[in-house]
């Protein structure tokens, strides 16, 4: 009989505590805003990405490794910037004048001559 009264009193205390917590919280006890599921990447938006940006980039870790969507977003951004740079390099290379090309070829080192010696046929299998 004592156990019954103890459990009844414990039940009343728990119900009262939960009721006070729910009702008595007031307007100022609002739960804080949840953090976004995904964070914005730390890559600069106003200038091209440089090596230091990539070295400083740290992606958040999820319970099973990195978040695939965030890694995909960063890789998509990097591939777009690399494609843009490649296109710009090709455009500048195509815009060079023939005089620039001959000057670049003249400043390039000449290929080393092949060593003189007997010709060796590597297609035959010697046994």
Contacts of 53 (CB under 8 A, 6+ apart): 42, 43, 44
Please give the helix or strand (H or E) that residue 62 lies within, else none: strand 61-62
Q: What is the mean pLDDT of residues 14-34?
A: 74
Q: Specify the pTM.
A: 0.40
Whether the per-residue pLDDT at 32 is higher than 80: the answer is no
Band of the pLDDT at 15, cuts 50, 70, 90?
very high
106 pLDDT higher than 60: yes
Rounded mean pLDDT of the chain? 75
Long-range CB pairs of 20-23, under 8 A, 24+ apart, other chains included: none
């Amino acid at each position: 009989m004592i156990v019954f009264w103890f459990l009844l009193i414990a039940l009343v205390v728990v119900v009262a505590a939960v009721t006070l917590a729910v009702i008595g919280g007031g307007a100022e006890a609002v739960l804080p805003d949840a953090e976004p599921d995904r964070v914005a990447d730390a890559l600069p938006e106003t200038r091209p990405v440089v090596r230091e940006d990539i070295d400083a980039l740290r992606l958040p870790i999820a319970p099973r490794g990195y978040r695939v969507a965030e890694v995909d977003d960063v890789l998509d951004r990097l591939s777009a910037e690399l494609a843009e740079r490649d296109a710009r390099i090709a455009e500048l290379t195509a815009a060079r004048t023939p005089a620039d090309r001959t000057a670049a070829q003249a400043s390039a080192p000449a290929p080393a001559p092949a060593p003189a010696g007997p010709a060796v046929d590597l297609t035959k299998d010697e046994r």
